[in-house]
Structure formats: C-alpha cells, structure tokens
Amino acid sequence: MEQETAAESCPAPEHGHNHDEHGSEHHGHSHGAASEKSLLISIFLNAGITIAEIIGGILSGSLALLSDAFHNLSDVASLIISYIALLIGRRSKSATKTYGYKRAEILAALANVVALFFVCVYIIFEAVKRLRNPEPINSGLMMIIAVIGLIGNGVSVLILFRSSKDNLNIKSAFLHLIGDTISSIGVILVAILLHFKPWYFMDAVISVLISLYIIKESLSIFLESINILMQSAPRELNKEKIIQAILSIKDIKVKDIHHIHMWDITPGKTVFDAHVVIDKNDLQDADNIIKKINHVLIDDFHISHSTIQLESGTINKCVTCDL
C-alpha cells in the first residue's frame, strides 16, 4: 500500500457537484456576454461625452470641465482595456497557461487604477496653477456640457452596476464611471455658483476634491489586485476555521493539516492546497476521505478547486517543500 495519496479536485462528478459546476459555468458565460455588451455600450457613450466635454471645456475655459473630460478619456481607455481583458479571459486554458487567462482581467484592473492615479495627479497639478491665476469661465456652457456628462455617466454606471459586483476588472472601470458621475455633479454645482458669484477659484477647488476622492477609492482595487498577483490568501477565508472544519468532519480521523496554501486566480476562484495526515490504515479509503474534505471546502468556503495530499502518520513532513 502507498503511504501517500494526492488528489486534485474541481470537484469530480462522483462528488455530487457536477450539476452545479456546469450550471455556474453556463451562468458565467451568459454573465460574461452581458458584461461585454455593457462595456461596449459604455465605451461609445463615454467617447461621445469626452468629445463634448473637451470642446465645452476649451470654449468655456473651465478646468473642472476639462478635468471631467480627462476623467472620461481615461474611462474610455479603461473600458476598452476591460473589454479586451474580458475577451482574453474567456480563452480556454492551454498546456502553458494551465489556469487559463483570467489573470488578464486583474492586470487590466491594475493598469486602470494606475492610469487613473496619474490622471488625477495631473489634474491636481493643473488645478494648483489655476488657483494662483483664476480665469473667467462661461458658466452657462459649462452647465450644459456638465449635465450631458452627468446623464451619460449615470447611464453607464447603471449598465455596469450588476457586473461590477463579481468582477474586479469591471469594478475598476465602474469606479472610473462613479468618479466621473460625482465629478459631473461637482461641475454642475460650481457652474450654478459661478452664475451668481464670480468665484472662479472654485472651479480649481472642485477639481482637486474630485481627484483626491477618486485616488482614495482606487486604492482598494489597487491593493486587491496586488494581493491576487502576489497569491495572497483571500481576505474572506480564515485558515484556522478551515482547519477546524476539516478536523471536525465525521468518520474521518485527521491527525494534522499542514502546508496549506490558498490563493485567488480571480476574485471568487480560489485554489486550495494542503497535506492531510491520517492513520496509515485509513489510506485505503483515500477517495472517500478526499471527497468529504472537498464537500466541506465547497459547501462551507466556496472553494471548488483543491489539491489534497493524504499522508500516513509516519510520513507527515514534506522535506522537499520550501513553501
């Protein structure tokens, strides 16, 4: 009899998860198609808004309107990146890309927030210059263009709202749009103020406030993207709770669990590896033991991809492992 048994699960049909897995896969494809359509609509909407705001910003002399235009321009770029990443992410895994191409969406999310950061820094720099030398602004034209921008951004936000909950890539693009929606509201408020008071410096002030808000909101996506790329354990999973859940499985005498690794391929797609020590005589029931462990992982922690290595009580160390 072998003293070590390793098995990888995704989970197999005999584990009772085949129907759910195919159902979620079908749902994933349909949800992905809806996301692609939503992104395409948002791309065309924001491209039109960007052109209108650039022209309006130049004609009115409003830095806030131009900053909103730059935000929208970055939106268009981020939406295009997100769309391309979705297409790449749908490609099937290969001999060299054994986990598939889903990480392309994480790279896109990271690229989006980094680009947004630099755009915001540039706008803050221009706003500081404008504070020193305020310039007259056509508040009426500023108002009209800002309202157009608000409507367009609001529609895009509604279109992407559902998809942004489950996809970090789309969430990063969604954040761009949220920032621009808030930006448009700020520009409208400034335009109203300037209609009654010639406080042109407020145009620069609102630009700085909008940029700082977007930088703050982008930070969470940046950190989550880095955590995934660094293969950090998902924040919502507690290692000790997983150990206790496995130790508490009925009819299985688990002596020890070690060399545990958990990481996300993308948010919600978690990989789990562990060495589980049992009695030598129980190795003959390896398939059933692994099946029960996988049931706990998927039912209690939503981990559908696991590799469980069973070891006897005399072989409970991985002397060749550095991780």
Q: What are the structural domain ranges in the chain?
A: 30-229, 234-311
Provide CB contacts within 8 A for 189, sequence distance 6+.
Answer: 206
The predicted pLDDT at position 8 comes to: 62
- pLDDT band per the 50, 70, 90 thresholds, residue 276: very high
Which tokens hold the place of 6?
């390793």
Distance of alpha carbon 147 from its chain centroid, rounded?
A: 29
Mean pLDDT rounded to a whole number for the chain: 77
> What H or E segment, with its residue span, contains residue 29?
helix 18-60
CATH architecture of 30-229: Up-down Bundle (1.20)
The predicted pLDDT at position 323 comes to: 61
Interior CA angle at 68 toward 67 and 73, to 5°? 95
Rounded average pLDDT over 150-160: 82
234-311: what CATH class? Answer: alpha beta
Decide if pLDDT at 184 tops 60. Answer: yes
Q: Write the pLDDT tens digit of every residue in 193-211.
A: 888 888 878 777 877 887 7
Decide if pLDDT at 15 tops 70. Answer: no
- Report the percent of the chain where pLDDT is more than 70: 80
Decide if pLDDT at 17 tops 50. Answer: no
Which tokens hold the place of 259?
């060399």
Provide CB contacts within 8 A for 269, sequence distance 6+.
Answer: 102, 304, 305
Amino acid at 284: Q
The predicted pLDDT at position 246 comes to: 92
Q: Write the pLDDT tens digit of every residue in 161-171.
A: 776 766 666 77
The predicted pLDDT at position 22 comes to: 44
The CA distance from 286 to 279, in Å, is: 11
Exposure string over 254-285, b if 16+ CB within 10 A, otherwise e: beebeeeebbbbbbebbbbbbbbbbeeebbeb
Q: Among 320, 323, 319, 296, which Cα is nearest to 308's? A: 296
